[in-house]
């Protein structure tokens, strides 16, 4: 099985957890813990489904980047400021802010990236594979197939197919991805290194 080499996560294998308010659910894709054990994370990536108007949980000391990946759109009110999220347009906001979500028309799926402030940063890019050019990823990068399908191969020759919302978690070795549809490439970066490169 190539999963260990490729870092493959099947979306259908991830359990859905209902929100405390019952108005949505979340499937965790990957995270890096702050230390060996404990509930705190350095970064966390998940796919959430918002089924009706709801208030998001607050995460003190966390930066969030949300991207609508399925559905018409999502209205967010962040500490009293309104923002309209359109599909495949990442939106960053403070995880500590009081945030109200309103699906534009029917349920919405959202890619949610959270990083611990002053420790990590995250950059979310939405790319189209339909031009035929493969994507190369390595290191602290999470890849999520949003639409279409693709094939990923490691330098050692292990390969696997990805369907919608299947993901690749960070691995040090280079992986080459080619296919069709839209994908999200999430690059995690150490905050200190990020600041030094400004």
Domain boundary among 67, 101, 118: 118
**Residue 133 and residue 176 in one domain:** yes
- Token pair for 61: 């000391």
Neighbouring-strand partners of residue 25: 18, 49
Q: Concatenate the DSSP letters of all residues of 140-174 into one string.
A: SEEEEE-SS-EEEEETTS-EEEE-TT-EE--EEEE
Total domains in the fold of the chain: 2
- Token pair for 53: 């108007």
Would you say residue 7 has pLDDT above 50? yes
**Residue 19 and residue 112 in one domain:** yes
**Residue 101 and residue 36 in one domain:** yes
Would you say residue 185 has pLDDT above 90? yes
Would you say residue 194 has pLDDT above 70? no
What is the per-residue pLDDT across 49-79, written as a single tens digit (0 to 9) for each? 998 999 998 889 999 999 999 999 999 999 9
**Residue 23 and residue 99 in one domain:** yes
> Contact, 128 vs 50, CB < 8 A?
no
Would you say residue 28 has pLDDT above 70? yes
The label of the residue with tokens 């923002």 reads 83
Would you say residue 2 has pLDDT above 80? no
User: Which pLDDT score, from 0 to 100, does residue 180 have?
Assistant: 94
The label of the residue with tokens 């600041």 reads 195
**Residue 112 and residue 137 in one domain:** no
What is the per-residue pLDDT across 86-136, written as a single tens digit (0 to 9) for each? 999 999 999 999 999 999 888 999 999 999 988 889 999 999 998 888 999
**Residue 57 and residue 101 in one domain:** yes
Secondary element (H or E) of residue 113: strand 108-116
> Contact, 145 vs 165, CB < 8 A?
yes
**Residue 22 and residue 106 in one domain:** yes
**Residue 25 and residue 114 in one domain:** yes
Residue 38's domain is classified under what CATH number? 2.60.120.10
* Nearest C-alpha neighbor of 6 from the set 129, 177, 184, 145: 177
> Contact, 103 vs 52, CB < 8 A?
yes
pLDDT: is 23 or 192 the higher one? 23
> Contact, 151 vs 179, CB < 8 A?
yes
- Beta pairing class for 91-94 and 62-70: antiparallel
What is the per-residue pLDDT across 139-179, written as a single tens digit (0 to 9) for each? 889 999 999 999 999 988 899 999 999 999 998 888 999 99
């Amino acid at each position: 099985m190539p999963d260990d080499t490729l870092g493959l996560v099947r979306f259908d294998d991830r359990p859905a957890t209902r929100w405390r308010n019952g108005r949505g659910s979340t499937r965790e894709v990957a995270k890096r813990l702050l230390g060996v054990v404990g509930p705190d994370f350095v970064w966390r990536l998940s796919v959430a489904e918002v089924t009706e108007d709801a208030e998001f949980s607050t995460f003190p000391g966390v930066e969030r980047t949300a991207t609508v990946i399925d559905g018409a759109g999502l209205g967010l009110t962040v500490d009293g400021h309104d923002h309209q999220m359109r599909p495949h347009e990442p939106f960053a906001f403070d995880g500590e802010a009081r945030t109200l979500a309103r699906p534009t028309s029917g349920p919405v799926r959202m890619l949610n990236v959270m990083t611990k402030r002053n420790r990590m940063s995250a950059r979310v890019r939405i790319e189209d594979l339909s031009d035929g050019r493969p994507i190369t990823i390595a290191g602290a990068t999470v890849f999520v197939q949003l639409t279409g399908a693709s094939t990923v191969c490691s330098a050692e020759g292990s390969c696997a197919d990805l369907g919608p919302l299947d993901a690749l978690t960070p691995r040090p070795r280079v992986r080459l991805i080619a296919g069709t549809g839209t994908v999200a490439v999430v690059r995690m970066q150490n905050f200190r290194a990020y600041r030094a490169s400004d």
